[in-house]
Homo-oligomer: A and B are copies of this chain.
Amino acid sequence: MTGTTEIPPPPWRRMKKSARQRRPLSQDLIVDTAMRVLDAEGLDALSMRRVALDLRTGPASLYAHVANKDELLELMVDRVVGEIEVPSPEPGRWKEQIVESALAAHHVWTRHPGIARAALANIPVGPNSLAYGEATLAILRAGGVPDQQAGWFLDRLSLYILADAFEESLHRERGRDTEEDARAYFEQIRAYYESLPADRFPVITSMVGPLLAGGGDERMRFGVELLVRGLATYVE
């Protein structure tokens, strides 16, 4: 009203402690918070209680906005897929495009430790998933890949990307994520392989170097290369 100014309530009028300094709950806020917990602590640390803690509420509050933990994970998965970008088709270099976009997608999944596990066995129906599928299939079609092979390839590529991202998160959980820890771990494996009886394991003992060479990224890329090269054999 004219001439009046809004003034804060008197300091003795207590607010519910958890109402202080926080927004009302919503599905988006819950998913946002869950993504932060995931990124900071990994999927195993993600619990309804842990998310509620950051929101300064009780775990039961979340159930007014998400049906259950599985639904929360699905919403998180679609958030992640939304971060994946796929380029427009360049027919002459469809193979390179698939390799590049697969590696980029993998990078997005591994930015959120463990969430790839929640993405397995999901047939793409979320808006972001559909957009990703559409863009990838467009590249394949532009490259001359027969529809049947293109359709199955998309499925197999997604499976591979998610599996590798999930496996990387398992390594991280087991304390093998820093270069130093990974090296120490692999040194143990190398010593073990070299100590195997050569008569029982002649091939393994003679290729310890190749077996342990390279890091996760190189192996990831190699697998994508195999899939793409294999697919190319179906293109006339």
Contacts and interface: CB of A to CB of B under 8 A. Distances in A.
B156 A222 contact: yes
A164 B157 CA distance: 11
B203 A137 contact: yes
A201 interface: yes
Nearest to A156: B223
Count chain B CB atoms within 10 A of each CB in A141, A153, A202, A225 and give the residue with the most: A225
A164 B159 contact: yes
Contacts of A230: 225-230
B123 A167 contact: no
Chain A interface residue number, banded:
35 or more
A130 interface: yes
A160 B222 CA distance: 13
Nearest to A148: B210
Contact of A152 (B147, B174, B214): B214
A154 B223 CA distance: 10
Contact of A163 (B163, B200, B211): B163
